[in-house]
Amino acid sequence: MVTAVEPPAVTPGATTARRSRRGSTNLLFLRNRKTVVGLILLTFFMVLALIGDVIAPYDPSATSPIGLQPPSTDHLLGTTSLGQDILSQILVGTRGVLVVAFLAGALATVLSVLVGITAGYLGGTSDEVLSLVSNIFLVIPALPLIIIVTGLLPSAGGLTIALIIALTGWAWGSRVLRAQTLSLRNRDFVEAARANGESTWRIIIFEILPNLTAVIASGFIGTVIFAMLSEITLAFIGVTSISDWNWGTILFWAQSNQALAMGAWWWFVPAGLCIAGVGTALTLINFGIDEFVNPRLRSTGQNAKVLRAKKIRARVGFTPVLRDTTADRKPPRGAPPSRRTPLPKEQP
């Protein structure tokens, strides 16, 4: 939901499309506290994905006779009804989740970039056709389609899942990119490049693409979130292969073994929290990108503190007035509207 509306002429400092980006704008993106939190959280999970199976205390599939146990010092997150260590399952499952999610996100983004930018730039019939195709994919409900396709396949490994998710989820990004490309196409610097005789491909790659990076990044992250939720849902339903560990699979077993009815909260709460954790991290990063691209959304973080300290409330339509406490005397509330200070009226 990123817009490319031009800010009003009165406000300075707005982001405009540039032929080359200044280094300082990159740092501004990182200065946003939300983004930093999101990045840290995401890095944490990525590290887990890398070393998860190394640091896991037990083999996640290994059963043990102790059965269903709440968290203890031996098993920090408790065990399943087959005595499997839940902490290990989560640690090992991280990789599966993140790999599929990012892979699907990448594939979908590539597709959406190809279709969206081409449609937006070329216009005419190619645009009509491509838009039609992407609209069809957009409207057809993704999850049921994914469920059925994966259900029909004999065995669905991580790669296949990523592919299917990518094929059903690329349309949204392509639509956004098409709209952005359309607005960029008419900008002066593109016209200039065209007048210079630059070939279409060069224009797309060197002029238009750099200005779309923020939108593409935002779309990528959105798709990764979608992919993650989809794959976890698939695992939860039991459609994907059960041999690979995955947070959704944990929930699948929890559901099949009536964890809820038995009050075994430790079985399904941690997995959900991890999902929410990754999702939140990605959304925060997306927020950061959104605010970076659309300057109007900014200034709620840093500025909020400064504003509160100075007791300023920034509102559209009612410009705040900073008052030096020593200088002016404010009239008491409810003072009569006619005169404030006796200022001499000039005679006509």
Q: Given the complex with another protein, which of 23 and 317 has the nearer CB atom?
A: 317
Choice from 316, 325, 326, 332 touching another protein (CB under 8 A): 316
Residues 126, 130, 131, 137, Cα dihedral to 10°: 170
| Site size toward another protein, by CB under 8 A | 99
- Interaction residues for another protein, span 186-245 (CB under 8 A): 225-226, 229-230, 232-233, 236-239
Least separation in angstroms between residue 287's CB and another protein is 7
Q: Given the complex with another protein, which of 42 and 162 has the nearer CB atom?
A: 42
Q: Given the complex with another protein, which of 62 and 129 has the nearer CB atom?
A: 129
Q: Given the complex with another protein, which of 10 and 54 has the nearer CB atom?
A: 10
Choice from 76, 99, 122, 307 touching another protein (CB under 8 A): 307
Stretch that binds another protein, among 57-65, 103-111, 182-190, 330-338 (CB under 8 A): 330-338
**Measured between alpha carbons, how far is residue 327 from residues 26, 319, 322, 323, 324 in Å?**
41, 20, 11, 8, 5
- Tokens 């506290």 correspond to 33
314 binds another protein (CB under 8 A): yes
- Interaction residues for another protein, span 247-306 (CB under 8 A): 251, 254-255, 260-261, 263, 265, 268-269, 271-272, 275-276, 278-280, 282-284, 287, 290, 294, 296-297, 299-300, 302-304, 306
Q: Given the complex with another protein, which of 178 and 204 has the nearer CB atom?
A: 178
Least separation in angstroms between residue 267's CB and another protein is 10
Least separation in angstroms between residue 52's CB and another protein is 20
Q: Residue 113 in contact with residue 217, Cβ under 8 Å? A: no
b (16+ CB within 10 A) / e for 22-34: eeeeeeebeebeb
- Interaction residues for another protein, span 118-177 (CB under 8 A): 132, 135-136, 138-145, 147-149, 151-154, 172, 175
Cβ neighbours of residue 71 closer than 8 Å, sequence gap 6 or more: 77, 78, 266
Half-sphere exposure of 119 (CA within 13 A, CB side): 24
Q: Given the complex with another protein, which of 6 and 201 has the nearer CB atom?
A: 6
76 binds another protein (CB under 8 A): no
Convert residues 27-46 into a mask of x (bound to another protein by CB under 8 A) and - (unbound): -------x------------
Q: How far apart are CA 25 and CA 181, in angstroms?
A: 21
**Measured between alpha carbons, how far is residue 324 from residues 225, 305, 306 in Å?**
49, 19, 16
Least separation in angstroms between residue 157's CB and another protein is 14
3-class secondary-structure state, position 107: helix
Burial environment of residue 233 by CB neighbours within 10 A (0 to 12, 13 to 18, 19 or more): middle
- Tokens 């990004």 correspond to 173
Stretch that binds another protein, among 79-87, 91-99, 213-221, 336-344 (CB under 8 A): 336-344
Stretch that binds another protein, among 78-86, 117-125, 209-217, 315-323 (CB under 8 A): 315-323
Amino acid at 91: L
Half-sphere exposure of 106 (CA within 13 A, CB side): 7
Phi, psi of 315 (to 5 degrees): -130, 150
Choice from 17, 36, 122, 312 touching another protein (CB under 8 A): 312
Least separation in angstroms between residue 347's CB and another protein is 8
Choice from 196, 325, 327, 332 touching another protein (CB under 8 A): 327
Least separation in angstroms between residue 51's CB and another protein is 24
- Tokens 């038995």 correspond to 262
Q: Given the complex with another protein, which of 204 and 227 has the nearer CB atom?
A: 227
Q: Residue 178 in contact with residue 119, Cβ under 8 Å? A: yes
Q: How far apart are CA 265 and CA 257, in angstroms?
A: 12
